[in-house]
Amino acid sequence: MAVRRTAQQNPAEGNGDRPRLEAARTQIRWLIRRDMDDVLAIERNSFQFPWTEEEFLCCLRQRNCIGTVAELDHRIVGFIIYELHKSMLRILNFAVAPDVRRNGVGRQMVQRLIDKLSQQRRSEIVLEVRETNVPAQLFFAASGFRAVTVLRGHYNDTCEDAYYMRYCLNPEASELFVPRNRIADMDAA
């Protein structure tokens, strides 16, 4: 299954200069089957090349794949799909409903993942972001992620490159394993 990108977010999300009432009232919980219609609607409103229901279900059937949703006033307003690996979490798909963006919901969802990290077990989160998705790049950079490599021609639906972004609990850990045949160093970009 192709690795996913994140929905475009505004980098000002969670900047602290206005109340984040929606985030305060948002509950993050496991994604369940009855949430799928709402998740698919957010997906279609967020991406040019949305996942199908079958793609979601195929991914979520994997033993190491987890889905969570953000619920605000009994309405699903965001979701995140990620994989558990031995030493890291890998975000596959992430989006917030367009009418709720810039209210801290996305930041709250990402922070929930960061809170799952520990020095003894999983110490980093990784994801790929399309090179044209500057708002998502800025959002993740503001959340402490760093672009570490460029994945040339990464997406099956276009020839577009991706930035491989990483959040590391231990900032001194600068080496990571990524297949070298798919990567060019950031300096070469």
47-97 pLDDT, tens per residue? 888 999 999 999 999 999 999 999 999 999 999 999 999 999 999 999 999
CA pair distance 24, 18, nearest whole angstrom: 13
Contact status, residue 62 vs residue 83, Cβ threshold 8 Å: yes
3-state secondary structure of 123: coil
150-189 pLDDT, tens per residue? 998 888 778 889 999 999 987 665 454 444 444 444 333 3
Structure tokens at 29: 């919980």
Contact status, residue 109 vs residue 97, Cβ threshold 8 Å: no
Q: Which residues contact 183 (CB under 8 A, 6 or more apart)?
A: 149, 150, 151, 152, 164
Mean pLDDT for the chain overall:
82
Domain residues of the chain, as ranges? 21-188
Q: What is the layout of strands, in order, in the sheet containing 88-96?
A: 27-30, 65-72, 75-84, 88-96, 124-130, 162-168, 146-151, 183-185
Specify the pTM.
0.79
Query: CATH class for domain 21-188?
Result: alpha beta
